[in-house]
Amino acid sequence: MSEEDNIAIIKDAVSPGHRIVLHHGGPEHVITVKDRIPFGFKIALRDIARAETVYKYGEPIGIASIDIQTGQMVHVHNMEGLRARGDLKESKTETSREER
Amino acid sequence: MKHTFLGYPRESGAVGIRNYVLIIPAQRQLNMVAQKIADIVPDTKAFISLGELGRPKGDRLVLQRTMVGLGLNPNTASVLIIGSSRGAGYEELKVEKICKEIAASGKRVEVLFLTEEGGLYSLLGKGIKVARDMVLEASRFIREPFGLEHLTLGVKCGMSDSTSGICGNPTVGRVFDTLIQSGGRALFSETTEVIGAEHVLIRRAKNDAVAQKILDAVAETEQKAKDVGEDIRETNPIPENIAGGLTTIEEKSLGAIVKAGTSTIEDVIAYAERIEKPGLYFMDAWMSSLSLPTGYAASGAHLFLYQMGGAGVPGREFPLPAVSSGIVTPIMYLTGNHETFERAEDNIDFNSGTILQDLETLEEVADRLLKMILMIASGAKTKAETFNHQDPVELYFQGPSL
């Protein structure tokens, strides 16, 4: 995990209400889990506003597609990638020219 | 400690970890003959392609590089080429050309033509006779000890989940670092799975020119993805990645590049392009498990490491995505997910999931992996090798189909 990361990977599946103690980067603080999160899935370490960048390994992995609260699971329902997005109009090449 | 394995010395100075007679049909009309010979004679491998007809020159060159490369691969002891008649076929794929390039290595290369053997039935009989003789001769080669500088490994990740980036891929990366430091060679690829991680990868490029090649390869692939008109998430991350906890291509890529370790990237090579010098190379190619092992084998890889996640694969057990698409290059399966290993121990050779269980350190697991690789290089079979099955191979063609 890196300093910039605003998500973490769940090592053992957790349920809502479960409390996770974080020692990472400074004084320890507690996060209350808000969703059922399976092994290997992502949890928000802090509130992430819509369009804010999500960081893992200290690198951007996409943005929040809706506001995400601390302790919620972070996955396809609330975040999206920014790369190779052929569905976004500005990134189309041939198709968008034809549409015009 | 010096790491050694027992391999077959070849006349060119290369060392094989397997000892196959390779049968190459130069034209697709002869695929059947090549396969029938391979079915009858043990320790032979047939290269059955999807065919050359109606493919543009760039793709015919892919086929040529693949045929020649598989013949030159050190795991190939000798080569039997089956052609329709002298001078037949596309220029790039003429029997004479393929034969000459492979024979330059000093290997025995035999050629049989349909027209000169008196038709299909006698060609098949003659092919069996010649292949048996070649297998007999190859079986008399004896293994000798060699160091890591004689080993070339290729890696691909598959069915990736969140353990891939933190257990499985770092373990392979650590072994790659040792291999490169010892003067060996390594290959990684899957250009789509560099999208979003290229800024990290280019820090290790040998020079600006190599960095630019990486950026260009990724940009070209990203543009192809955009031209489809979809969010790439409809295609890659694949459904099994998403079910395994990976959310975006950027996230998948950042975990995927870790499998190549931390060595300098010497160059970017094309699919099935041969590597002539030691070091780590990036092959600009497609991730498919029916395509990449063949490409690596043609580049000279001895062993294909298939690093699995697997959390997103439903059910108690799951089969291997590819058994034999390396043709002469065996496939070894690994996972960084202990649950995957427990579910599929019949099919997976190595488990690094113990890191996440706090049972072993990364160093300990990497050391264990290197030992197993050396054992496999010395002749121990991978689990995929215990199936007598030949996968169809899909070379990385660019088209158009004409």
Q: Which of B161, B248, B250 shows the shortest C-beta gap to A40?
A: B161
Residue B394 is assigned to a structural domain of this protein: no
Is B83 found in the same domain as B205? Answer: no
Is B277 found in the same domain as B255? Answer: yes
Q: From B105, B122, B138, give the residue that closes a domain.
A: B138
Other CB atoms closer than 10 Å to residue B238's CB: what's the count? Answer: 17
Residue B402 is assigned to a structural domain of this protein: no
Looking at residue A98, its pLDDT comes to 40
Residue B2 is assigned to a structural domain of this protein: no
pLDDT reading at A100 higher than 50: no
Is B158 found in the same domain as B132? Answer: no
Residue B27 is assigned to a structural domain of this protein: yes
For chain B, list residues with pLDDT below 70.
1
Instruction: Test B250 with A62 for CB contact under 8 angstroms.
Output: yes
Whole-angstrom Cα Rg for chain B: 21
The CA distance from A30 to the nearest CA of chain B, in Å, is 22
User: Chain B residues with CB inside 8 Å of A96's CB?
Assistant: none
Looking at residue B65, its pLDDT comes to 98
pLDDT reading at A90 higher than 70: no
Residue B189 and residue A59: Cα distance in Å, rounded? Answer: 21
Residue A42 and residue A75: Cα distance in Å, rounded? Answer: 7
pLDDT reading at A24 higher than 90: no
Is B173 found in the same domain as B70? Answer: no
CATH number, domain at B65?
3.40.50
Chain A: residue nearest B223 by CA? A84
Is B265 found in the same domain as B287? Answer: yes
User: What is the percentage of chain A residues whose pLDDT exceeds 90?
Assistant: 72
Is B102 found in the same domain as B208? Answer: no
Looking at residue A25, its pLDDT comes to 67
Is B228 found in the same domain as B152? Answer: yes
Is B345 found in the same domain as B302? Answer: yes
Q: Over the stretch B120-172, which tens digit does the pLDDT of each residue have?
A: 999 999 999 999 999 999 999 999 999 999 999 999 999 999 999 999 999 99
Query: Which 3 state secondary structure label does DSSP give B103?
Result: helix
Q: Is B241 on the interface with A (CB under 8 A)?
A: no
Inter-chain contacts counted by CB atoms under 8 A, chains A and B: 104
Q: Of chain B residues 336-375, which have a CB less than 8 A from chain A?
A: 337, 339, 356
Q: Is B215 on the interface with A (CB under 8 A)?
A: no
Residue of B372, B380, B318 whose CA lies nearest to B343? B318
Is B76 found in the same domain as B200? Answer: no
Query: Are the beta carbons of A93 and B223 closer than 8 angstroms?
Result: yes
H or E element in which residue A44 lies? strand A42-44
The CA distance from B271 to the nearest CA of chain A, in Å, is 22
Looking at residue B128, its pLDDT comes to 98
What domain range includes position B65? 20-138
Query: Are the beta carbons of A56 and A38 closer than 8 angstroms?
Result: no
Cβ burial, residue B254 (10 Å; 0-12/13-18/19+) = buried
User: Chain A residues with CB inside 8 Å of B196's CB?
Assistant: 59-61, 81, 83
Please give the distance of CA B149 from its chain centroid, rounded to a whole number. 19
Instruction: Test B247 with A61 for CB contact under 8 angstroms.
Output: yes
pLDDT reading at A96 higher than 60: no
Lay out the sheet containing A7-9: strands in order across: A7-9, A42-44, A73-74
> What residue ranges define each of the domains in chain A, with the CATH number in brackets?
7-93 (2.30.130.110)
Output the six-digit token pair for A9. 């990977």
Q: Is B254 on the interface with A (CB under 8 A)?
A: yes
Is B43 found in the same domain as B157? Answer: no
Other CB atoms closer than 10 Å to residue B276's CB: what's the count? Answer: 8
Is B132 found in the same domain as B153? Answer: no
User: Chain A residues with CB inside 8 Å of B165's CB?
Assistant: 57
Is B202 found in the same domain as B335? Answer: yes
Instruction: Test B249 with A38 for CB contact under 8 angstroms.
Output: no
Backbone angles phi, psi at B399, to 5 degrees: 75, -170
Strand partners, A14: A37
Chain A: residue nearest B163 by CA? A40
Q: From B138, B157, B173, give the residue that closes a domain.
A: B138
pLDDT reading at A92 higher than 90: no
pTM of the model: 0.95
Q: From B138, B164, B186, give the residue that closes a domain.
A: B138
Question: Checking DSSP bridges between strand B76-83 and strand B20-25, what pairing results, if any?
Answer: parallel
Looking at residue A28, its pLDDT comes to 84
Q: Which of B161, B197, B249 shows the shortest C-beta gap to A81?
A: B249
Residue B351 is assigned to a structural domain of this protein: yes
Residue B356 and residue B191: Cα distance in Å, rounded? Answer: 28
Looking at residue B125, its pLDDT comes to 98
Total domains, chain B: 2
